[in-house]
Amino acid sequence: MRDQYNNHPAECMEENEIDLRELFATIAENKFTIMAFALLITSFAILYALYKPNVYTSQSILIPKEQGGKPSLGGGAAALAAMAGINIGGGGSLDIAELFKNLLGDYAFNKPLIKKYRLDQMLDEKNIEKHLVFAANQRAVYDFVKSFRTKAKKQKSYEDILFETHKKLKNILSVSTDKKSGAITLSAKFEDRFVTKKLIDIYLKEMSDYIKRLDLQEIDEQVRYYEDELQKAKNLDLKANINELLSALVKKKVLSQAGEFYMVKQLTKPQVPYIKDKAGPKRALIVIVAFITSIILGIFFVFFKEFLNEEKPKKEEEIFENEYKPIIE
């Protein structure tokens, strides 16, 4: 095989050149079809880009509180606390970002918040329409498309509305961590720039209060338990250790009340984004990608059509031979 190709290099090159010429000739013959297809797809992409409102991001940067001021325990009390699984450090060893992420994704946590702050109404399309911002401040395309979506919607139960609102919130709110500095960023990304700030204020407060409430509840249970044990204890050293442990728990409870938020300090507060400071959509990129993709798809469609046109005569010829060959013979 190698000798065969080596003996006829000119023929191989000529065949390749002919193939390329045929390809470019096919594209040239169908250039208007390709251009029309690209124009159609790009027009739809432009309409889609104009239809989509601006998306804005508001965020708050948080720093976990240091453990420098945590209560210190003596050797016996520290050992006793460790055996009981008690953390006197004020929660500093916990991953606050992961706690926030888990709460954002927990329907049981979000459901009462949606009811309390009426977040289903806050995120409703009818209520946010007046705050939507479009390209060149023109909403004609949005209103035109909306006129075709006036059909009566299926009536949903309140439970379904709550769950759908929860799914929306999961896409709007996010938590990220800077591994170098340890800073936590709570972000909200939504079409209504005023809602983004409201959501961060609500969730930062509620998540902080929720974790604080659980921690204080656990501390109260531990205090009651060790107060009972103190009454029963007869050994003086054990009583001293329990007293020290109770003192540390009470100090932890007092320290947890300090600060606006539990376990975190707010480095930057959320702001209503500036009207020109949009996070999306990237309209130019949408149109460019649609144009390039439509050109590629148009060329593929042309080649596929040519392939079908070439295969059709072959099949007709095979049918003719199968039908008339026995008669001819």
**In a shared domain, residues 306 and 290:** yes
Per-residue model confidence (pLDDT) at position 117: 96
Per-residue model confidence (pLDDT) at position 192: 96
pLDDT surpasses 90 at 259:
no
Per-residue model confidence (pLDDT) at position 312: 58
Residue 324 lies in a domain: yes
Residue 142 lies in a domain: yes
pLDDT surpasses 90 at 75:
no
Per-residue model confidence (pLDDT) at position 12: 53
Q: What is the pLDDT of residues 202-258, one digit of tens each?
A: 999 999 999 989 888 888 888 888 888 888 888 887 888 878 888 888 887 777 777
Helix (H/G/I), strand (E/B), else coil: 264: strand
Q: What is the pLDDT of residues 83-124, one digit of tens each?
A: 445 555 544 456 889 999 999 999 999 999 999 999 999 999
**125/129 Cα distance (integer angstroms):** 6
**In a shared domain, residues 202 and 318:** no
Higher pLDDT, 253 or 292: 292
**In a shared domain, residues 10 and 27:** yes
Cβ neighbours of residue 131 under 8 Å, at least 6 residues apart? Answer: 191, 192, 193, 194, 195
From 188, 220, 191, 40, select the one nearest 125 (Cα to Cα): 191
Rg (CA), the chain: 35
Per-residue model confidence (pLDDT) at position 68: 41
**In a shared domain, residues 63 and 179:** yes
Q: Are 270 and 197 in contact (CB under 8 A)?
A: yes
Residue 102 lies in a domain: yes
Residue 274 lies in a domain: no
Angle subtended at Cα 194 by Cα 279 and Cα 258, rounded to the nearest 5 degrees: 105
* Domain extent at residue 24: 2-51+283-328
Per-residue model confidence (pLDDT) at position 262: 86
Among the three residues 245, 268, 291, which one is the final residue of a domain in this structure?
268
Residue 186 lies in a domain: yes
Per-residue model confidence (pLDDT) at position 1: 46
- Count structural domains, the chain: 2
Helix segments in 30-147, DSSP class H? 31-51, 75-83, 96-104, 107-117, 119-122, 125-128, 140-146
Q: What is the pLDDT of residues 28-61, one digit of tens each?
A: 888 898 999 999 999 999 999 999 999 999 999 9
